[in-house]
Structure 1
Amino acid sequence: MTTPTPDSLAAAHDLTGRVAVVTGAASGIGRASALRLAEAGATVVCADLDEAGAGETRDRIRHRGELADAVGVDVTDREAVDALVAGAVERHGRLDVMANIAGIIVTNPVVEISEAEFDRITAVNLKGPFFGCQAAARHMVGQGSGSIINMVSAAIDAPAPNLAGYGMTKAALAQLTRVLAREVGRDGVRVNAIAPGFVISEMTTRNFTDADGNVDPGLKAEVETRMSKGVALRRVGQPDDIAFAVVYLASDASSFMTGQIVRPNGGAAMPF
């Protein structure tokens, strides 16, 4: 299938009339991506286990005069993910972008990861986007177009102690991305992944909060300084650094890109 080449840079990034589902939309990279997709013109379905948080993202989008819905969903539940995609199509008539961003992190040495932790991180970080890919691909293949975006991690390129569970699931998701891209490319569907470096978000700031959930500014600054030392650009990432890549992969600006891993990591990892 041939995708027409946009006639301008603005047109290439314009998502007006497109419908995007974003999981993990209640906070962090997911929220930033939902906001930027809407800014680019897409109607965004904000999905998250934290339905209230997803609703807040929806409200921020609507406050700007843009279009969004919010749905509570457990991505580890296949039927719930199928219903999420079916609902988006039923309500909006199509599905153009599926951004599988929901994820969790477990920090333990390999020998200390419990079976429960293994099952949980595998369920959220691998089964969840797998179900999302399946549901989206089934519809997009019939539609003859679409972009699926999976969120992996720089951990697939730079193995880090205590991140075996996280890195393992993200590496598997990167391979799923490549295989699915091969399977559905002939049908006009693109599948890519983003591998961020360390990003300051709600998920990562949990590592420097007190018992009441308040961020310790001193510890946060210390962590940012330490993490920045291994980054060529000498800073950590922000959610928007990744959200802009999501918009690129969702848009016709990336119409000749599929099966690729985009690496906005500030130079923390530089694989060939």
Structure 2
Amino acid sequence: MTWAPIPPAQRLRGRHALLTGAAGGMGLAVAQAYLQQGARCSVADLGAHATPELVALMAQHPDALHYLRSDVTQAAQIDALIGAAAARFGPVSTLFNNAAIFDMAPLLESDEAMYDRIFAVNVRGAFFVMQKVLAHMLRHGVR
């Protein structure tokens, strides 16, 4: 038997990627790369509507890409996100946990509310998205 590498265009064929923080920037770029490699992508962000760039990408991949609104600071919304993503494309098999905020202010101008919001999204949200997606993957036998 000879070994042959999987062509880049096929590496993620049959995979369902869930991407948080993916309405633009790095998340959107990763979604584009995953789509090029054959994945179906559920992209999530806090915005009520998809960005124009994401809408254009969805038009190019109507059967492989969809947008879900989700707030990763809310456990119930994370559960709903995973459920809606799985209902559309089957069990999630790949996670790009990218949701983050960067409310920057000089140290002496920072307050507890700003700190709590950054921590809630960047640390707590990332942790619970990872935990809940892993539990979902294990329930569905995803490898």
TM-score for the superposition, normalised by structure 1: 0.47
Note if contact 1:48-1:73 (Cα within 8 Å) is conserved in structure 2: yes
Note if contact 1:54-1:71 (Cα within 8 Å) is conserved in structure 2: no
Cα 1:87–1:57 shift into 2, 3 Å: same
CA drift at 1:36:
1.2
How far apart in 1 are the matches of 2:15 and 2:141?
14
What stretches of structure 2 of length at least 5 have no aligned partner? none
Q: Report the equivalent of 2:122.
A: 125
Amino acid at match of 2:60: H
How far apart in 1 are the matches of 2:133 and 2:51?
20
Q: Please state whether the residue corresponding to 1:53 is helix, strand or coil.
A: coil
Note if contact 1:55-1:70 (Cα within 8 Å) is conserved in structure 2: no
- CA offsets 1:197-229 (integer angstroms, 9 cap, x no match): xxxxxxxxxxxxxxxxxxxxxxxxxxxxxxxxx
RMSD: 2.3
Match of 2:138 among 125, 136, 141: 141
Please say which structure displays the higher CA radius of gyration: 1
CA drift at 1:140:
1.1
Note if contact 1:15-1:41 (Cα within 8 Å) is conserved in structure 2: yes
CA drift at 1:12:
9.4
Match of 1:28 among 16, 21, 25: 25
Amino acid at match of 2:15: R
Cα 1:58–1:42 shift into 2, 3 Å: farther
Q: How many pairs were matched up?
A: 141
Q: Please state whether the residue corresponding to 1:75 is helix, strand or coil.
A: coil
Q: Please state whether the residue corresponding to 2:105 is helix, strand or coil.
A: coil
Q: Please state whether the residue corresponding to 1:51 is helix, strand or coil.
A: coil
How far apart in 1 are the matches of 2:44 and 2:51?
6
- CA offsets 1:123-146 (integer angstroms, 9 cap, x no match): 111121112112101111223335
**Structure 1 ranges of 4+ moved more than 4 A:** none
Q: Please state whether the residue corresponding to 1:17 is helix, strand or coil.
A: coil
Q: Report the equivalent of 1:85.
A: 82
Q: Report the equivalent of 1:116.
A: 113
How far apart in 2 are the matches of 1:65 and 1:16?
16
Note if contact 2:100-2:122 (Cα within 8 Å) is conserved in structure 1: yes
Note if contact 2:10-2:38 (Cα within 8 Å) is conserved in structure 1: no
Q: Report the equivalent of 2:103.
A: 106
Cα 1:113–1:54 shift into 2, 3 Å: same
Cα 1:55–1:131 shift into 2, 3 Å: farther
Match of 1:69 among 57, 63, 66: 66
Cα 1:118–1:25 shift into 2, 3 Å: same
CA drift at 1:60:
1.1
TM-score for the superposition, normalised by structure 2: 0.85
How far apart in 2 are the matches of 1:76 and 1:50?
14
Note if contact 1:27-1:53 (Cα within 8 Å) is conserved in structure 2: no
Amino acid at match of 1:102: A
CA drift at 1:24:
1.0
Note if contact 1:25-1:34 (Cα within 8 Å) is conserved in structure 2: yes
How far apart in 2 are the matches of 1:108 and 1:41?
41
